[in-house]
Structure 1
Amino acid sequence: MIMHPGIKLRHLRVFLDIAARGSLTAAARAQGITQPALSRTLAELEALLQVPLFRRERRRLVLTDAGTLLRTHAAAALQMLESGVAALHPVAGTDRLRVGILPTAATRLFPRVALRFREMHPHVTLSVETGPHPHLIRLLREGGIDLMIGRMPAAADMAGLRFDHLYEDQIALVSRAGHPFWGQPVRDVLSACPVILPPQDALIRRAVDDYLQARNLAGLHPAFETAALAVGRGILAASDALWFISQGVVGDELDQGALIQWPTDAGFLTGAVGLTRRQVGPENAMLDVLTRLATDGARTYAGSRAS
């Protein structure tokens, strides 16, 4: 079957954005259009293809089998097209790598890697994009970034991508040093004090929710939701709140004694951290160098935490 001539790039971009975010509202905001307009575009694409691409599960849109197949090929096709357009307009006299950094790698691992890369290749600019996982995944698929460093994406997000494992990072429960309830049972403290949870779309949120449910705290209402170090650190310093956050985000604060880590006794509060790249893309020697440095840096970082 030949592709219907009515299918346009806007159809595919809308489709990929909805697939990445699982929400019409979030995708419409990212596209800068109204939700009704985005819904019409999706309906047009499904009509042209004559197959449903999504099904609704609770409050999320989930890809059908046909949608999963289309995303794999549409993402690869758009990436190749973006690469071709970029090759027509090279930037003279400069090189640039665009890297997306999730919070777990932003404060300790990546700064060390970035400085080492700068020593080796001072003519290359590292353009760093931060933000939540859905935002960076979308940029990676669309060619807005060349590499993402952080926690392993969910299986549903891995079509057209590859993940290289670096190390395991624990989800820590932390508070300010000198917390008045230190030493008391964690379940009681969580029930009595304000709690900061990762955002709903954070990769670690599900593991935290599972932890709370296993301790009959599924109904706990968080006071705040954030994965931002500056925000979380500021709230902890001025209150008796506790924060579930990737250990890599608050490693320096723990080492310096500004924050303390509470025992959780939960082996599943951990997850893989690594490099996520597109499976199909142009050769990039500088990106390969950065990947090797990140691998070496992660080995040193993981060793220092174990010692």
Structure 2
Amino acid sequence: MHPSIKLRHIRAFLDIAAEGGLSPVARAQGITQPALSRTLAELETLLEQQLFLRQGRRLALTESGALFRRHALAAIQALEAGASAMRPGAAGVLRVGVLPTVATRFLPQVVLRLRELRPEIVLAAETGPHFHLMRLLRDGAVDLVVGRLPGASEMSGLSFDHLYEDEVILVARSGHPARGRPATEALARSPVILPPATALIRPIVEDYLAAHGLNGVRPLVETVSLALGRGICLGSDALWFISRGVVLYELDRGELIDFPTGARFLSGAVGMTRRQESRAPGLVEFEQIAREVVRNADQSLPVPDARRPRNPGETP
């Protein structure tokens, strides 16, 4: 690296990339916009690369800028972790990407135990669809993602730690007129909510529908949002394909019921995905606690087993 590149260059670049413009960064740093622009220009000159393109009022990363951002974030995190390690008890931030399937019951248990063990660590949770969280992980904007197993094409440079299996189920309001009938019969008569096309569980749901001659189903809406899916189900006769972990409390309270599909392939691995070189503060403890929560789980996690109470009409 060019010896004239300073930490101020790196921090300015990362802040501009995060904000998408110069003005908010200049205000936050208490400097003028021309001064910040000069800092950015110096960095581009020293790297001999254009890092941003102007798109209207926003600055968008070039391909070179995106590549440099990934490594710059990792470098800053490593420096901050090193400084924190020299001050036992010092605060640190662990940034976690959270998919809906773990947000209801599993992750809260991990967070509360981490708070007991490492109260100085601040856990910053980022929610969103799988593709968004994986991009944040690769860019270094989160330290790990907790959710379903990524596709094989996404795993280069990453590691996945399996925790448990979570099934995809078909749910509806407790007073649904097809309650107690086979899932395929209910699907043929009711509006359907599907996971979005970008969701990891969408392909197995499509496989199930195709296997039962229902691949022409036109969804009422596509979502894995608990607030939206729950609201539509409670206000209509819609059926919703969703991971059990998302709707655990609604099932426990009897607001929603599970239409048994009889398809064992409607399940998948849930675990922790992270960059292999990640050394974020509190990361090791987080992973250890997550494994302990799974080992100690009985009915507190959505792990399919024979002890789960069956719904009316469900066969063993």
TM range (shorter): 0.7 to 0.9
Counterpart residue number, 2:72: 81
Counterpart residue number, 2:102: 105
Q: What is the letter of the counterpart of residue 301 of structure 1? A: A
Counterpart residue number, 2:283: 287
Matched, 1:193 2:184: no
Q: What is the letter of the counterpart of residue 252 of structure 1? A: Y
State TM-score, norm by structure 1.
Answer: 0.72
Q: Deviations over 1:228-281 (max 9, x none)?
A: 111111111111110000000011111121111001010100000000010123
Q: More deviation in 92-101 or 126-135? A: 92-101
Counterpart residue number, 1:128: 125
Cα distance in 2 between the residues matched to 1:290 and 1:106:
15
Counterpart residue number, 1:151: 148
Contact 1:176 1:259 in 2 (8 A): yes
Q: What is the letter of the counterpart of residue 72 of structure 2? A: L
Contact 2:94 2:281 in 1 (8 A): no
Cα distance in 2 between the residues matched to 1:32 and 1:221:
40
Question: Against the structure 1 CA distance between its residues 292 and 219, is the aligned structure 2 distance closer, same or farther, given a 3 Å change threshold?
Answer: same
Contact 2:94 2:280 in 1 (8 A): no
* Unaligned runs of at least 5 residues, structure 1: 1-8, 14-30, 46-73
Partner-residue secondary structure (3-state), 1:178: coil
Matched, 1:300 2:300: no
Question: Against the structure 1 CA distance between its residues 78 and 301, is the aligned structure 2 distance closer, same or farther, given a 3 Å change threshold?
Answer: farther
**Alignment of structure 1 residues 120-269 onto 2, 5 Å:** 120-269=117-266
Q: What is the letter of the counterpart of residue 108 of structure 2? A: P
Q: More deviation in 132-141 or 250-259? A: 250-259
Question: Against the structure 1 CA distance between its residues 252 and 79, is the aligned structure 2 distance closer, same or farther, given a 3 Å change threshold?
Answer: same
Cα distance in 2 between the residues matched to 1:227 and 1:33:
32
Partner-residue secondary structure (3-state), 2:237: coil
Contact 2:92 2:281 in 1 (8 A): no
Cα distance in 1 between the residues matched to 2:211 and 2:151:
22
Cα distance in 1 between the residues matched to 2:222 and 2:54:
25
Cα distance in 1 between the residues matched to 2:142 and 2:226:
23
Contact 1:167 1:302 in 2 (8 A): no
Cα distance in 2 between the residues matched to 1:165 and 1:303:
19
Higher helix share: 1
C-alpha displacement of 1:78: 5.9
Contact 2:148 2:269 in 1 (8 A): yes
C-alpha displacement of 1:284: 3.7
Query: How large is the RMSD of aligned CA atoms in angstroms?
Result: 2.9
Contact 1:80 1:280 in 2 (8 A): no
Contact 2:77 2:280 in 1 (8 A): no
Q: What is the letter of the counterpart of residue 107 of structure 1? A: T
Contact 1:79 1:280 in 2 (8 A): no
Question: Against the structure 1 CA distance between its residues 95 and 256, is the aligned structure 2 distance closer, same or farther, given a 3 Å change threshold?
Answer: same
Q: Deviations over 1:2-44 (max 9, x none)?
A: xxxxxxx9xxx9xxxxxxxxxxxxxxxxx9959xx99xx67xx
Partner-residue secondary structure (3-state), 1:222: coil
C-alpha displacement of 1:192: 1.4
Cα distance in 1 between the residues matched to 2:55 and 2:258:
43
Q: What is the letter of the counterpart of residue 276 of structure 2? A: Q
Contact 2:121 2:281 in 1 (8 A): no
Contact 1:166 1:299 in 2 (8 A): no
C-alpha displacement of 1:128: 0.4
Identity %: 49
Contact 1:161 1:278 in 2 (8 A): yes
